[in-house]
Structure 1
Amino acid sequence: MNKLLILLASIFLLPIETKAPNSHSAFRDGEWFQFRIHYGIFNASYATLSVNETTLKGKDVYHVVGKGSTTGLARMFFKVDDNYESYFDKEKLIPYKFIRQIDEGGYTKDLEINFNHEQDKATVFNHKHNRTTTINTPDGIQDLISAFYYLRNSYDFSNFKIGQEVDLELLYDDDEIFNFKLRFLGWETLNTKFGKVRCLKFRPYVQSGRIFKEKESVTLWVSDDKNRVPVRIQADLIIGSLKADLNAFKGLKHQFKIQLD
């Protein structure tokens, strides 16, 4: 689930020159995605993302919850139970609170991050180790989930140039800010369970050697419509390969475009 969310955030890293503030709203309260994740020949897990409106300390926010867990035979070999939550401003789409609770084959984390955008600082509570860390943050900092929704909602895709590379700064751990680089590859129509979907295609640069086979081991597709729905992710790993497909959805704000033959 952790790797999937990192890649989903990376899908929408667009250049500042193409930004069109408040051009439209790509999502709304009640939106829900489910992804089916395959590891090699195994249906390894499912991951979901859900959006709900609420309040946090008197502020109107979106509360997004991301969950993932292994299923079936894969769970016998590698148990995964992940929970991610983000509370971000409904208008500015900046994060106020981020929760990361993961158990991946015995590797666990239990973090809570509170963002202070006025002071450009974030306070990270590591509940597992009973440790508190303060990190200086740049303007525009996002957490792992809020970035996905902020960039879906705030950028114009029409001016993309093939080969364009961009960066984004994220904070989702208690040690440092993470920088991601992404390259736009063009357009491609995918055959999905819903029909043929025209997509924007991306290649994020990832760290090779620990999980991914090469720096350019990952490919991502997102629907070329007003929803900007993540449709597919593929990755070559050190051992085997991973593929995540959109399996179900509801509550989209705009029509999900399917191409007719």
Structure 2
Amino acid sequence: MKNFLIFIFSFNIILTSAQLDNVNSEERLKYRIHYGFLNAGLATLSTKKTIYNNTPHLHVRGEGRSTGAVRAFFKVDDVYESYINIQTGLPSFYIRNVKEGSYYRNFASTFKANSGIVSLHDRIKNTTQTFKIPMDIQDMLSCFYHLRNLTTHQLKLGSSIKINVWIDDEVYPFMLRVTGKEIVSTRFGKIHALRIIPSVMSGRVFKAKEGVTLWVTDDANHIPIQLKAELAVGSLKADLIEYTNVKHPFNFSK
């Protein structure tokens, strides 16, 4: 169960340089997470337009917490924040503050634009390190909103896209493959969706290199509505259960 909120954020991943004009300020998405047959937790994503370093940014906040019986033996309180440059779609500042059982991390990453360098501050140890990174680096939240701005052509059936993602103090290479189109049943009704398989590192969080499946709406929103992952121990599933202020209307049917 360790790092279970990474399940929500770490594979919503595709690279693009498009402006973030497909996401409303004050948008909010809420997911329920199941661990096996248990209701394991809730995760929310919210947005707000703001000014960071005198430049327009999208401030994204992700929160996750375990609930019910799972919280009784494994307490999770995670907060992720990203300040994404609206013009470039690249992150400027990223926070990962997680409490998962006895596991604690509180990192603040400052990306220095056009330099290929990130400054990582460990807020618990009060230490700072610098790392070289690819110029096209994304963090775990900014990836989600890049996905939202891709065109139908970029997400066509059979397409594959590679991206480098900054997680803690490492760069992780990901690859996304659009493998099919399906009609997915949700609590709001049925909706057309793209099935996406991210290739992830096995042996750390996920059971296999391609142990994750993601379904995103096959419309202008490109919002994940259902997620499944086979973990090293057990499996996780997430479903969209609430949404507000999305830019484009959903086309749910009965």
Q: What's the TM-score once normalised by structure 1's chain length? A: 0.90
| Cα distance change, pair 44–125 in 1 and its aligned pair in 2 (3 A) | same
SS at match of 2:34: strand
Instruction: Tell me by how many angstroms 1:106 deviates.
Output: 1.2
Report which stretch shifted further, 133-142 or 221-230.
133-142
Match of 1:64 in 2: 60
Deviation sequence 1:146-166 (CA, Å, 0-9, x none): 12112322x212354544332
Greater helix proportion: 1
Q: Label 1:258 to 1:150 Cα distance change in 2 as closer, same or farther (>3 A).
A: same
Residues in 1 aligned to 2:68 and 2:151: alpha-carbon distance in whole angstroms: 40
Conserved in 1, the CA contact under 8 Å of 2:115 and 2:135? no
User: Residue in 2 aligned with 1:144?
Assistant: 140
User: Are 1:7 and 2:11 matched, yes or no?
Assistant: yes
Residue 139 of structure 1: CA displacement?
A: 2.0
Which residue of 35, 40, 45 corresponds with 1:44? Answer: 40
Q: Distance in 1 between matches of 2:156 and 2:30?
A: 30
After superposition, give the CA deviation of every residue in 1:187-243 in whole Å (9 maximum; x if it has no partner): 011010000010011111122234322222111000011111110001122322110
If the length of structure 2 is used for normalisation, what is the TM-score? 0.92
Give, as a single letter, the amino acid of the residue that structure 1 aligns with 2:231: L
Indicate whether 1:82 and 2:78 are aligned: yes
Question: 2:96 aligned with 1:96, yes or no?
Answer: no
Question: Hey, what does 2:227 align to over in structure 1?
Answer: 233
Return the match for 2:188 from 186, 191, 194: 194
Letter of the 1:195 counterpart: G
SS in 2 for 1:75: helix
**Post-superposition CA distance 1:4-29 (Å, at most 9, x none):** 11022x2xx26x7xx8x46x832110
What is the match of residue 122 of structure 2?
126
Is residue 110–residue 128 contact of structure 1 (8 Å, CA) maintained in 2? yes
1:61 Cα deviation after fit = 1.1
Equivalent residue number for residue 131 of structure 2: 135
Runs of 4+ in 1 over 4 A off after TM superposition: none
Gaps spanning 5+ residues in structure 1: where? none
Q: CA contact under 8 A between 2:40 and 2:71: conserved in structure 1?
A: yes
Identity of aligned residues (%): 38
1:250 to 239, 244, 249: 244
Q: Is the 8 A contact 1:182 1:202 kept in 2?
A: yes
Aligned residue in 1 for 2:205: 211
Unaligned runs of 5+ in 2: none
Please list the CA deviations of residues 30-75 of structure 1 after superposition, one character each: whole Å capped at 9, or x if unmatched.
1100000000111000000000011112211111100000011000
Q: After the TM superposition, which residues 149-160 of structure 1 pair with which residues of structure 2 at under 5 Å, given as runs?
A: 149-153=145-149, 155-158=150-153, 160=155
Identify the residue that residue 163 of structure 2 maps to in structure 1: 168
Instruction: Check whether the contact 1:29–1:53 (CA below 8 A) recurs between aligned residues.
Output: yes
Instruction: Single out whichever of 125-134 and 68-77 deviates more from structure 2.
Output: 125-134
- What is the letter of the counterpart of residue 212 of structure 2? V
- Provide the rounded CA distance (Å) in 2 between the counterparts of 1:140 and 1:209: 26
Letter of the aligned partner of 1:256 in structure 2?
F
- Asked if the contact 1:113–1:172 (Cα under 8 Å) also holds between the matched residues in 2, the reply is no
CA contact (8 A) 2:114 2:135 kept: no
Instruction: Report the Cα offset of residue 77 of structure 1.
Output: 1.6
**8 A contact 1:98–1:172 mirrored in 2:** no
Aligned length: 250
* Amino acid paired to 2:37: I
Residue identity in the other structure for 1:204: P
